[in-house]
Amino acid sequence: MFSARILTLFPDMFPGCLGQSLSGRALEKKLWSLELINIRDFADDAHKTVDDTPFGGGAGMVMKPDVVSRALESCTSNKSRIIFLSPRGKTLTQELVKELASEQELTLLCGRYEGLDQRIIDHYQMEEISIGDYILSGGELGAMVLLDSCVRLLDGVMGNDHTVDEESFENNLLEYPHYTRPAVWIAPDGSEYNVPDILTSGHHANIKQWRLEQSEQLTKNRRPDLWDNYTP
Ligand code: SAH
């Protein structure tokens, strides 16, 4: 089973969206597990201090290495990959998601304030992962994004008829457009929109070809970076 462990100063934020819909049902069905560790429980003073001012001066506070280390030592097993959610990390991609989803166990550390003391990152040789080039106020949303994307790939989480190989980013392509009933949709301003004829033709090979062409067109226009790495 895929087990995730989250170290955070805000355990009440979980399971949050991970407790709903696909990932929530999968959690209930025990297709994956979630353990929460409150870093503050490992503070050793009466005020439960978890952060302090940075050496060298400057704005903000830094999470203390001794406290975070005790939290980690309370739980990590040597088979666990320790991930620090961090804007400096390598960007999460579908390729990395697949790799992470194949692990037995992940330990995710959520930063707050200015982040962690560098020594703890070095000592535990943490893998730093970012969810994109913007700054969040904490790693918790990052941990949720990472886990949500992993959990949907686990066996039994999505229905059998769902195939991930046609989703965006597979084979460096974005997904083709979808349509559903009604076949003719009248927008509030009276405009009439039909479904592309091909999709109601019942001709599976042509539909497949049309979808591929749509995917290629979209990718070429929107994501030249993916398009450059695409091999038909
Ligand atoms: N001072 C840091 C930002 C700290 S934001 C810097 O400039 O790099 C506080 C915490 O939020 C970080 O420690 C990290 O755990 C989390 N965080 C912020 N942005 C993130 C992102 N893009 N991806 C993953 N985690 C992020």
Q: According to the model, what pLDDT value does residue 163 have?
A: 75
DSSP type of residue 123: H
pLDDT of residue 159: 81
Question: Ligand 1 atom 2: the closest Cα is on which residue?
Answer: 114
Tell me, what's the pLDDT at 29? Answer: 97
**3-state DSSP call for residue 26?**
helix
In the reported structure, the alpha carbon of residue 216 is separated from the centroid of ligand 1 by a whole-number distance in angstroms of 34
Q: Is the CB of 136 under 6 A from ligand 1?
A: yes
Say which DSSP state 18 is in. G
How much distance in Å is there from the Cα of 174 to the middle of ligand 1?
Answer: 28
Domain boundaries for CATH 1.10.1270.20 within the chain: 170-227
Closest among 58, 109, 42 to 50, alpha carbons compared: 42
Q: Which of 64, 85, 88 to mutate to test the pocket of ligand 1 (most atoms within 8 A of CB)?
A: 85
Q: Is the peptide bond before 182 cis (omega within 30 degrees of 0)?
A: yes
Listed in order, the ranges of the chain carrying CATH 3.40.1280.10 are 2-151
| 31 DSSP β-pair partners | none
- At CA 51, angle to CA 45 and CA 57, rounded to 5? 130
Residue 185 Cα to ligand 1 middle (Å): 44
Angle of the 94-101 helix axis to the 140-151 helix axis, nearest 10: 70
How many CA within 13 A on the CB side of residue 9? 19
**Which residues are 91's β-sheet partners?**
130
Token pair in block for residue 232: 């038909």
Q: How far, rounded to the nearest angstrom, does the alpha carbon of residue 231 sit from its chain's CA centroid?
A: 26
Strand partners, 83: 108, 127
- At the topology level, CATH places domain 2-151 in Alpha/beta knot (3.40.1280)
Q: Return per-residue pLDDT of the chain as tens, 232 residues.
A: 999 999 999 999 999 999 999 999 999 999 999 999 999 999 999 999 999 999 999 999 999 999 999 999 999 777 789 999 999 999 999 999 999 999 999 999 999 999 999 999 999 999 999 999 999 999 999 999 999 999 999 999 998 777 777 888 989 999 999 999 999 999 999 999 999 999 999 999 999 999 999 999 999 999 999 999 999 9
| Phi/psi at 66 (5° precision) | -65, -40
Q: Whose CA is nearest to atom 23 of ligand 1?
A: 130
Within 92-229, strands assigned E span 105-110, 127-130, 184-186, 192-194
Which pLDDT score, from 0 to 100, does residue 166 have? 80
For residue 191, list its beta bridge partners: none
Per-residue pLDDT, 160: 73
Taking the complete model, does pTM exceed 0.75, yes or no?
Answer: yes
Beta carbons within 8 Å of 102's beta carbon, 6+ residues apart: none
CATH superfamily of the 170-227 domain: tRNA(m1g37)methyltransferase, domain 2 (1.10.1270.20)
